[in-house]
């Protein structure tokens, strides 16, 4: 006798076709991917992730920087840093990859964030996961209060989505973008300095909800800066990155305390993180 199931399994990916590749910075490319028939691969919420794989090369978890409102394609901004990402960077439009998702939780854009002033802080490639929130909020502009985006990178060339952030976002009412780079550079007349200092300089009122993503060192100092300004940890959200395999809270790799970053995260509030063992 045979038993049967329906093979609807999150381990099994979908085929995605890379339609377009945009060189964002010297080491970051944005890949626009959709299904072979041109439809979206799946629905997602801001902050959620997907596993992209080239079979035989590897599979990796990437956040989805495009807005759920974009029904044409899904974007992934990927920094070249290892075997899989190098492979992805060497790809050409028209090639296939496999995609699994959506994975993990998302920013509470449909409840907690509603009506709030939002401060988005990003550093380097850390802007990718929060971009989706910004795009989502810009598409539902009336639901949210003032939006500030603080973003820093090493140099002007390393600012991902520079054109979009400097030209398009500020056009939206009540939306402000503050860009900074680490060191003085020709052709840059904006602020210079590290993100944590810049955030303190900007001296935001503390009635905002903060979304933050970037390198660990930036997170550490920016958080401290926000605390100095009078923010509470309950106001600050971040997304985490750990080694992941299954993406669905089973394989055990991203387990911290009772949480699985791939399933219960990647979005956490800092007060939640405080309750977890410091193994991230």
Partner 1 sequence: MLKFTSDQMSTLFSAISAMKTLYVPVEKGGEVTFGVWSETEKVRLDALKTVKSAKDLFFPQAETMMGFKMEGKNIEIQVPEEKMDEFVVFGVRACDAKSFEVLDNVFLAEPVDTYYALRRKSGIVICAACTRPEESCFCNVFGIDATAPAGDIVTWTVDGTLYWEAKTEKGEAFTAQLSEYLAEATAEEEAAVAAQNEAVKAIIAKLPYANLKVDGFTGDRMMEYFNSPKWAELYQACLGCGTCTFVCPTCQCYDIRDYDTGHGIQRYRCWDSCMYSEFTKMAGGQPRLTQLERFRQRFMHKLLYYPMNNNGLFSCVGCGRCVNKCPISMNIAKVIKALGDE
Partner 2 sequence: MHKIGVFVCWCGSNIAATVDVKAVAEAASKEPCVVYATDYQYMCSESGQNLIIDAIKEHNLTGVVICSCSPRMHETTFRKAAQKAGLNPYMVEIANIREQCSWIHKDMAEATAKAIVLARAAIAKVQLNKPLIAGESEVTKRCLVIGGGIAGIQTALDVAEAGFPVDIVEKKPTIGGKMAQLDKTFPTLDCAACILTPRMVEAGAHENITLHTYSEVEEVSGFVGNFTVKIRKKARKVKMDLCTGCGLCTEKCPMKKQPNEFNMGLDKRGAIYIPFAQAVPKVPVIDVEACLKFKTGKCGICSKVCTAGAIDYEQQDEIIEQKYGAIVLATGFDQIKPTKFGELGYSQYPDVVTSLEYERLMNAAGPTKGHLLRPSDGKPPKEIVFVQCVGSRGQSCRDKSYCSKVCCMYTAKHAILTKDHYPDTNIHVFYIDERTPGKNFDEFYRRAVEQYGVDYIKGQVGKVYEENGKLMVQGSDLLANEQITLAADMVVLAAAIEPDKTARSLGTMLTASMDTNDFFTEAHAKLRPVESPTAGVFLSGMCQGPKDIPETVSQAGAAAVKVIGLLTKDKLLGNPCVAHSDEMLCNGCSQCARVCPYGAITYVDKEFRVPGPKRVETRRVAVVNEAVCQGCGACTVTCPSTAMDLKGFSNRQIMSEVDAICK
**Which residues of this protein are in contact with partner 1, per CB under 8 A?**
1-13, 15, 55-59, 81-82, 92, 94-98, 242-243, 245-246, 248-258, 275, 277, 279-280
Nearer to partner 2, 80 or 91 (CB): 91
Give the per-residue contact string, 88-107, with partner 2 (x = CB under 8 A; - = no): --xxx---------------
186 binds, among partner 2, partner 1, none (CB under 5 to 8 A by kind): none
Which partner, partner 1, partner 2, none, binds residue 87 by CB below 5 to 8 Å per kind? partner 2
Q: Which tokens in the block code for residue 76? A: 């992934």
Phi and psi torsions of 238, nearest 5°: -145, 170
Nearer to partner 1, 5 or 163 (CB): 5
Query: Site residues for partner 2, window 17-46 (CB under 8 A)?
Result: none
- 202 in contact with partner 2 (CB under 8 A): no
Q: Which does 90 bind (CB under 5 to 8 A by kind): partner 1, partner 2, none?
A: partner 2
How many CA atoms are closer than 13 Å to the CA of 247, on its beta-carbon side? 21
* Rounded distance between C-alpha atoms, residue 178 and residue 120, angstroms: 10
Number of residues lying near partner 2 (CB under 8 A): 4
The single-letter DSSP state of residue 72 is: S
Cβ-contact 159, 25 below 8 angstroms: yes
Please state the closest distance from residue 195 (CB atom) to partner 1, in A: 19
Cα distances (angstroms) measured from residue 214 to each of 21, 128, 228, 239: 23, 9, 19, 9
- Choose from partner 1, partner 2, none: what does 142 bind? Cβ within 5-8 Å by kind: none
Give whichever of 33 and 210 is closer to partner 2, judged by the CB atom.
33
- Are 45 and 39 within 8 A, CB to CB? no
Least Å from the CB of residue 91 to partner 2 = 6
d(C-alpha 45, C-alpha 269), whole Å? 17
Q: Which of 132, 109, 95 is nearest to 15 (CA)?
A: 95
Is the CA virtual torsion 5, 10, 12, 14 positive or negative? positive
87 in contact with partner 2 (CB under 8 A):
yes
* Footprint of partner 2 (CB under 8 A): 87, 90-92
């Amino acid at each position: 006798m045979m038993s049967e199931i329906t093979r609807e399994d999150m381990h099994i990916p979908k085929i995605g076709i890379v339609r377009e590749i945009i060189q964002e910075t010297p080491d970051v490319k944005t890949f626009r991917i959709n299904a072979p028939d041109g439809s979206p691969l799946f629905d997602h919420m801001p902050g959620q992730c997907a596993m992209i794989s080239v079979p035989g090369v590897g599979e990796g978890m990437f956040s989805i920087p495009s807005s759920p409102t974009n029904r044409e394609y899904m974007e992934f901004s990927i920094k070249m840093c290892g075997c899989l990402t190098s492979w992805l960077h060497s790809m050409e439009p028209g090639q296939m990859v496999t995609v699994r998702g959506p994975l993990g939780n998302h920013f509470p854009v449909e409840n907690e964030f509603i009506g709030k002033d939002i401060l988005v802080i990003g550093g380097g490639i850390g802007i990718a996961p929060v971009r989706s929130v910004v795009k989502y909020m810009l598409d539902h502009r009336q639901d949210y209060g003032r939006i500030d985006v603080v973003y820093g990178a090493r140099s002007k060339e390393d600012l991902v989505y520079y054109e979009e952030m400097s030209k398009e976002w500020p056009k939206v009412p009540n939306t402000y973008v503050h860009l900074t780079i680490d060191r003085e550079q020709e052709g840059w007349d904006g602020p210079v300095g590290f993100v944590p200092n810049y955030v303190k300089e900007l001296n935001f009122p503390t009635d905002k909800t903060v979304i933050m993503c970037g390198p660990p060192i930036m997170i550490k100092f920016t958080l401290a800066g926000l605390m100095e300004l009078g923010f509470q940890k309950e106001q600050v959200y971040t997304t985490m990155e750990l080694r992941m395999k299954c993406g669905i809270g089973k394989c055990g790799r991203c387990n911290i305390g009772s949480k699985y970053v791939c399933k219960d995260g990647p979005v956490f509030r800092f007060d939640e993180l405080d309750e977890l063992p410091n193994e991230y």
